[in-house]
Copies of this chain bind each other. A is one copy, B any other.
Amino acid sequence: MFVHTSHAPASPAFPHTHPDLTGLLTQCRPSAVTLYNVDSVVYAQGDAAGPLYLIAFGAVRLCRLTSDGRRQISGFVLPGEIFGFEARGEHHFYAECLDATGIRVLRPSGDASASTLNLALETLTRAQEHLLVLGRRTVVERMAAFLVDLAQRQGDEKSVVLAMQRNDIADYLGMTVETVSRVIGKLKAMRMIRLRTTREIELLNPSGLMALSE
């Protein structure tokens, strides 16, 4: 499961750190960064919820399996972002690492609930935005929205590093891997993007992508 644990000071500097996050960090006792391997499980569906998880590096996917064996990914979590919010003290999704990932566990005290609420609301907003994406008609629009969102969260307007593979993108956007490939190909043909590698995408026309995803 976990590989190694290291203690480190509590304030990572990420491009888009949420103000309430630093507030929450100062209210929690400094916690260790735990290292997880690829595909290792941070928590399982049905596990007791409570602590929150801050990603130091790497990335995480939040998933649910349906009874017919398919998987829906409700979200990806990137460095500097928090996950683990759940209602009724139980995880309704499970969390897996996309990569070798460093995670800091936060145990909010009672007086941190204001910060906690704000961060939970951020998570809610993310879910609602994802919901809008899935509501779109065409796969091209969904993919465009996905790329624009990732670019913004990574703080680079013009390029995206995909921490996840086509498989994961498909389950996140509600399409198949083949369609993911084809759509990326189509966006390439439209001169919207360029593939440096399969994992690095250059956004040639960010505003055009935003118009598509809108």
6 smallest beta-carbon distances between A and B, as pairs: A87-B121, A134-B134, A127-B127, A72-B135, A67-B214, A87-B125
Contact at A125–B214, with CB atoms within 8 Å? no
Which single member of B114, B131, B136 contacts A74 (CB below 8 Å)? B131
Contact indicator per residue, chain A 108-119, by CB within 8 Å of chain B (1) or not (0) = 001001101110
A64:B132 contact, CB within 8 angstroms: yes
Task: Give the residues in chain B near A130, CB-CB below 8 Å.
Answer: 131
Say whether A53 faces chain B, with CB atoms less than 8 Å apart.
Answer: no
Is the interface on chain A under 10, 10 to 19, 20 to 34, or 35 or more residues?
35 or more
Chain A residues at the B interface, C-beta cutoff of 8 Å = 64, 66-68, 72, 74, 85-88, 92-93, 110, 113-114, 116-118, 120-125, 127-128, 130-132, 134-137, 171, 174, 211, 214
Given contacts A121-B85, A122-B87, contact A92 B214 (CB under 8 A): no
- Which of A66, A74, A135 has the most chain B CB within a 10 Å cutoff? A135
**A137 → B minimal CB distance (Å):** 8
Cβ B74 vs Cβ A128 within 8 A: yes
Residues from chain B with a CB closer than 8 A to the CB of A137 are 174
Given the complex, which residues of B lie within 8 Å of A135, measured CB to CB?
Answer: 72, 134, 171, 174
Q: Knowing A92-B125, A114-B113, A124-B124 are in contact, say whether A131-B85 is a contact too (CB < 8 A).
A: no
Residues of B within 8 A of A121 (CB): 85-88, 120
Q: Is the CB of B86 within 8 A of A132?
A: no
> When chains A and B are docked, how far (Å) is the Cα of A1 from the Cα of B144?
38
- Give the residue of B86, B124, B214 whose beta carbon is less than 8 angstroms from that of A87: B124
CB proximity of A123 to chain B, nearest CB, Å = 6
